[in-house]
Structure 1
Amino acid sequence: MKRITLVLTLLFFSVAGAFAQLENPVSWSYVAKKTSKTEATVYLKATIDEGWHIYSQNVKAGGPTKTVFTFSPSKDYTLVGKTMEPKPISTYEKTFKMNVSYFENEVIFQQKVKLNKGETVVKGKLEFGVCNDKQCLPPAEVTFSIPVK
Structure 2
Amino acid sequence: MRKTTLVVLTFLAAVTVKAQIYNPVNWSTSTEKISDTEYELIATAHIQDNWHLYSQSVPDNGPKPTVFSYVGNSNYLKKGNTKEEEGHTVDDPVFEMRIKYFSEKAEFRQRIRLKSDAAFKIEAVVEYMVCDDEKCLPPKEVDLTFNIK
Give per-residue Cα distances to partners, 1:100-149, cap 9 Å, x unaligned: 11001101100000111122211110011111111111211100111011
Select between 29-38 and 76-85 the one with higher mean Cα deviation. 29-38
Query: What's the offset of the Cα at 1:61?
Result: 1.6
Residue in 2 aligned with 1:124? 124
Query: What's the offset of the Cα at 1:60?
Result: 1.4
Residue in 2 aligned with 1:86? 85
- The answer to whether the aligner puts 1:141 opposite 2:141 as a matched pair is yes
Residue in 2 aligned with 1:113? 112
- Percent pairwise identity: 33
The root-mean-square deviation of aligned C-alpha atoms, in Å, is 2.2
Query: Following TM superposition, where does structure 1 have runs of at least 4 consecutive aligned residues deviating by more than 3 angstroms?
Result: 5-15
Query: What's the offset of the Cα at 1:40?
Result: 0.4
Unmatched segments (≥5 aa) in structure 2: none
Select between 76-85 and 33-42 the one with higher mean Cα deviation. 33-42
**Aligned pair in 2 of structure 1 residues 76, 131: CA closer, same or farther (>3 Å)?**
same
C-alpha separation between the residues in 2 aligned to 1:95 and 1:57?
Answer: 19
Residue in 2 aligned with 1:61? 60
C-alpha separation between the residues in 1 aligned to 2:50 and 2:15?
Answer: 24
Select between 66-75 and 7-16 the one with higher mean Cα deviation. 7-16
C-alpha separation between the residues in 2 aligned to 1:114 and 1:16?
Answer: 48
Query: What's the offset of the Cα at 1:16?
Result: 2.5
Unmatched segments (≥5 aa) in structure 1: none
Equivalent residue pairs, number: 148
Query: What's the offset of the Cα at 1:17?
Result: 2.5
Letter in 1 for 2:20: A
Query: What's the offset of the Cα at 1:14?
Result: 4.5
Letter in 2 for 1:139: P
Give per-residue Cα distances to partners, 1:44-94, cap 9 Å, x unaligned: 001111111100000112101211000001111111000000112111112
Query: What's the offset of the Cα at 1:10?
Result: 7.2
Q: What TM-score do you get using the length of structure 2 for normalisation?
A: 0.88
